[in-house]
Amino acid sequence: MAIFSSKTREPQVDFSHLPRHVAIIMDGNGRWARKRGLPRTAGHAVGAETFRTIATYAKEIGLEYLTVYAFSTENWKRSQEEVQSIMGLLKKYLLEAIGQMERDKVKMEFFGDLSRLSPELQELCQHAREISSRYDGCQVNICLNYGGRDEIIRGIKAWQADCAAGKANPEALTEAGFSDYLFSKGVPDPDLIIRPSGEVRTSNFLLWQSAYSEYYFTDVLWPDFSKTNLLEAIEAFQKRSRRYGGV
């Protein structure tokens, strides 16, 4: 009988062939809190720390892009207290990240309709974007008030407007050309999408961009997600054979 479970061994990762772009659905904060008899907001607070740890580690190991789902277009349906708490954590994170950007040289971008956020948060996002334009290291994309379907509809409307203004030719639309109308313009599609917490669905995350992404699901709840869990996901990714519809 094996003495060590597979979970106790070190993930074997080839750091010279990392996925360029890893995306994560940060799920399970509420269940993590409930298991401990804590309010859901406590789960989000620990989840925000996990995000910080994983974003720092992503940069350390040399990932080019990390995209995280922080707040969806559907998350406004949650209680006002929970929404306020997530927005408060975002503000805290952005203030700290902006203060450390000069040192960390991490680029930040935001996917989603930011106009529904408070003017203060919008300003912080804009400020982070502006500073980021000076760097070319690891890019962290935070999805805020983001929905994959919403993103596609917005893209279609913007493209239609360009067609009407004579700036785009309706006959000449290509997949690559349409990608430029999405929030993710200029960012390569995610190679690997990780969903913790045992849920096995895409939840409106990067619908267009995930056409050929590899998915990795784990039961670990987001607040417990560790650097080792990230390496386990990358190890699983590196064992897969990506054929993009070919043989």
Catalytic residues: 27, 75
> How far is Cα 64 from Cα 59, in angstroms, rounded to an integer?
8
Distances (CA, A) of 233 to 57, 135, 226, 236: 14, 27, 11, 5
Nearer to ligand FPP, 20 or 31 (CB): 31
Residue 31 interacts with ligand FPP (CB under 6 A)? yes
* DSSP for 118-165, written as a single string: -HHHHHHHHHHHHHHTT--S-EEEEEEEE-HHHHHHHHHHHHHHHHHT
Q: Residue from 23, 24, 28, 191 that binds ligand FPP (CB under 6 A)?
A: 28
Task: Write down the least CB distance from residue 55 to ligand FPP, Å.
Answer: 8
Nearer to ligand FPP, 13 or 83 (CB): 83
Task: Write down the least CB distance from residue 234 to ligand FPP, Å.
Answer: 21
Structure tokens at 244: 């993009």
**CB 4: neighbour CB atoms within 10 A?**
7
H/E stretch holding 88 = helix 80-104
Segment lying near ligand FPP (by CB under 6 A), choices 45-53, 118-126, 172-180, 202-210: 45-53
Binding mask 110-149 for ligand FPP (x = CB under 6 A): --------------------------------x-------
Nearer to ligand FPP, 199 or 235 (CB): 199
Q: Residue from 18, 42, 70, 143 that binds ligand FPP (CB under 6 A)?
A: 70
Residue 27 interacts with ligand FPP (CB under 6 A)? yes
Task: Write down the least CB distance from residue 109 to ligand FPP, Å.
Answer: 12
Q: Residue from 21, 29, 58, 233 that binds ligand FPP (CB under 6 A)?
A: 29
CA angle 183, 187, 190 (to 5 degrees): 100
Nearer to ligand FPP, 155 or 190 (CB): 190
Structure tokens at 110: 């935001």
DSSP state of 195: E
> How far is Cα 183 from Cα 69, in angstroms, rounded to an integer?
13
Q: Residue from 51, 110, 205, 216 that binds ligand FPP (CB under 6 A)?
A: 51
* Residue with the shortest CB distance to ligand FPP: 30
Half-sphere exposure of 58 (CA within 13 A, CB side): 28
Residue 234 interacts with ligand FPP (CB under 6 A)? no
> How far is Cα 186 from Cα 91, in angstroms, rounded to an integer?
26
Chain residues binding ligand FPP by CB under 6 A are: 26-31, 44, 47-48, 51, 68, 70, 75, 86, 89-90, 93, 142, 197
